[in-house]
Amino acid sequence: MSCWKTENLLAKSQLTGNMSEFSLPKSFLKRMEKKLGEEYPQFLESLDQEASVSVRKNPIKKSNLFNHEEAVPWNSDAYYLKERPEFVFDPMIHAGSYYVQEASSMLFANGIDFSTDLRILDLCASPGGKSTLLLSKMSDNSILFSNELVNKRADILKENLVKWGYTNVVATSNRAEDFSPLNAYFDVVLVDAPCSGEGMFRKNNKALSEWAENKAFVCSIGQKDILDEAIKLVKHNGLLIYSTCTYSEEENEQIVEWFHKKYQGMVLPASLNLKSEWGVRKEFVSVRKNIEQEINKCYPHKIRGEGMFIAAFRIQNNLHFEHKRLKKFQSVLSRLSKDELYEVGNFIDSTKHEIELRKYQDSIYALPKPYLNEVEMSFIKFNTILAGSLVGKINKKNKELIPVHNLAMSGLMRADFPFMELDKREALHYLKKQDLNKMPENIPGGWFLAKHQGTNLGFMKNVKNRLNNFYPREWVIRKNLPNWDVA
């Protein structure tokens, strides 16, 4: 993602001719030549090659997908594909069975010890690649706050998190400074900063067309602002991970130096435990006498992935979060009545999961049991766009639960809930909200799940032998289906 602030402010770069030598900004090429020395021709060559395509499977949605593909060495759920399929026509991606993520972007997680319960904040989260990865690795009793400032991008983040289907997550659309009620709360804060995006040049034409001479400088101002807030949110001995997808020193090495200097005594270097055989270049920046900060760089001629920069810091601030601060917030969640619990019980076996069912306003949520106070505070203090799994609402007339799509995507649905299996063609019709020309067997009426390869696609309802499709209108596949046989 390129630096958001600069999009309308900066003049478009002087771009010329073909990809590596001509279409890339001359000053960028000159800088890279100086930086890479004899490796520069290989770097240039790599920019003319197609970017690798990699996907990461969702561990809570079991499938046989990609089992024969080559594994990404640094993530046990991830695979390289031989070619780029038209993902939009694969029902399994809409079901949240996997996420398409560039492989270098998965490396940051190797610096995190997931063996204990963690409170993690992903401060710059959309579209959600790193947040979905974190959810897959975190224990069930951990919590992720996933935040995206820009409204439109927050919608995309929400869609991806809903499809990923985890309950131990709160998504917000706030400025970093709004998180002050959670100062010193987090074990890990990830700042995947908006940047000049040079590392994405071959993958993403937008990054190239938005690049400009002074973009690194403008982005670096925003990066410092975000880090100034992020450091307050980390608890004593917690981890702050900073990453960009650019090569510019202003946004990388210089930010690291600035951070150590400004927060002397509060910041120690941490390692990401990345292996050189993966093609990551580990370097050290001398930040103070006897203190060297590890930095990790990815170049596309060295790694099977795109350009990336990652550094991790251990924060020593002697700040400890007092949980009673959360209790001060007024209670906005209410318990469900017996009848409501019974209704929800038709969809969820709540005894099987570490969740609490609560109502906020008229909606019923399945919330992570240990974090009810946090959710409550989030509803009050933050612009909360997602909390746990939204279950649905009780129909005021007949008192029955009207379930929502989030529930179908979550891992909470009862295993014995009625369903109809759809083949690929039918599944795509479902995802386009088109007629299926098929009736479920043994489901005389009421709610059921549409499934593809055993994975939930969404809800349907059989009303007097008429099928209603409850797939969310805003996520419908807009593209015309290709004219192929998709059996």
Ligand X SMILES: C[S@@+](CC[C@H](N)C(=O)[O-])C[C@H]1O[C@@H](n2cnc3c(N)ncnc32)[C@H](O)[C@@H]1O
Instruction: Determine whether 373 is exposed, middle or buried from the number of CB atoms within 10 Å of its CB (0-12, 13-18, 19+).
Output: middle
Q: In the 8-state DSSP scheme, what is residue 2?
A: B
* Binding of ligand X by 124 (CB under 6 A): yes
Strand 355-360 with 53-57, pairing: unpaired
Q: Closer to ligand X by CB, 118 or 460: give it.
A: 118
- 77 to 116: interface string for ligand X, x by CB under 6 A: ----------------------------x-----------
Minimum distance of ligand X from residue 432's CB (angstroms): 26
Mask: binding to ligand X, 26-65, rule CB under 6 A, as x and -? ----------------------------------------
Task: Closer to ligand X by CB, 190 or 412: give it.
Answer: 190
Question: Minimum distance from CB of 127 to ligand X (Å)?
Answer: 5
- How many DSSP H helices and E strands does the chain contain? 13, 23
Q: Which is nearer to ligand X, 133 or 457 (CB)?
A: 133
Using the rule CB under 6 A, is 226 a contact of ligand X? yes
Binder of ligand X out of 187, 192, 251, 356 (CB under 6 A): 192
218 near ligand X, rule: CB under 6 A:
no
State phi, psi for 142 to the nearest 5 degrees: -95, 165
Residue 126 in contact with ligand X, rule: CB under 6 A: yes
CA angle 9, 13, 18 (to 5 degrees): 150
Q: Does residue 216 belong to the site contacting ligand X (CB under 6 A)?
A: no
The reply on whether position 336 binds ligand X by CB under 6 A is: no
Which is it for strands 419-421 and 389-394: parallel, antiparallel or unpaired?
unpaired
Query: Which CB atom, from 207 or from 333, has the smaller least distance to ligand X?
Result: 207
List the alpha helices (DSSP H) in 282-371. Answer: 324-327, 338-345
Identify which of residues 148 and 374 has a Cβ nearer to ligand X in the complex. Answer: 148
In contact, 332 and 379? CB cutoff 8 Å: yes
Specify the stretch interacting with ligand X by CB under 6 A; choose among 36-44, 122-130, 299-307, 345-353.
122-130
- Calpha distance 282→196 (Å, rounded): 21
Q: Which stretch binds ligand X (CB under 6 A): 61-69, 119-127, 259-267, 333-341?
A: 119-127
**Binding segment (CB under 6 A) for ligand X, from list 29-37, 144-152, 363-371, 458-466:** 144-152
Task: Give the number of residues in contact with ligand X, rule: CB under 6 A.
Answer: 20
Tell me if 466 sits within 8 A of 437, measured CB to CB: no
**Residues 78, 55: contact at Cβ < 8 Å?**
yes
Q: With CB under 6 A as the contact rule, which of the stretches 78-86, 125-133, 300-308, 451-459 interacts with ligand X?
A: 125-133
In the numeric block, which tokens belong to residue 402? 């009207």
As a whole number of angstroms, the distance between CA 191 and CA 364 comes to: 32
Task: Identify the CA nearest to 418 among candidates 392, 391, 447, 439.
Answer: 447
Does 203 contact ligand X by CB under 6 A? no
The three-state secondary structure class of 27 is helix
- Token pair belonging to 214: 């002074």
Question: Is 267 one of the binding residues for ligand X (CB under 6 A)?
Answer: no
CA distance 315 to 186: 11
**In this chain, which of 25, 91, 96, 128 binds ligand X, going by CB under 6 A?**
128
Is the CB of 133 or the CB of 408 nearer to ligand X? 133
| Residue span binding ligand X (CB under 6 A) among the ranges 145-153, 178-186, 252-260, 327-335 | 145-153
Q: Work out whether 129 is an interface residue with ligand X (CB under 6 A).
A: yes
Nearer to ligand X, 175 or 323 (CB): 175
Q: How far is the CB of 226 from ligand X (least distance, A)?
A: 5
Helices 129-137 & 151-164, crossing angle to 10 degrees? 30
Q: Is the dihedral of CA 276, 279, 280, 286 positive or negative?
A: positive
Q: Nearest approach, Cβ of 102 to ligand X (angstroms)?
A: 9
Whether 368 and 376 have beta carbons less than 8 Å apart is answered as: no
Question: Please, what is the minimum distance in Å from the beta carbon of residue 25 to ligand X?
Answer: 20
* Cβ distance to ligand X smaller for residue 200 or 355: 200
Q: Does 198 bind ligand X (CB under 6 A)?
A: no
Segment near ligand X (CB under 6 A); pick from 21-29, 33-41, 127-135, 462-470: 127-135
Contact 397, 198 (CB under 8 A): no
φ/ψ of residue 243, rounded to 5: -140, 155
Q: Name the 3-class secondary structure at 137.
A: helix
Q: The tokens of 93 are what?
A: 């991606």
Indicate whether 280 belongs to the interface with ligand X (CB under 6 A).
no
At 171, list the tokens: 């998504």
Residues at the site binding ligand X, with contacts judged by CB under 6 A: 1, 4, 105, 123-130, 148-150, 153, 175-176, 192, 194, 226
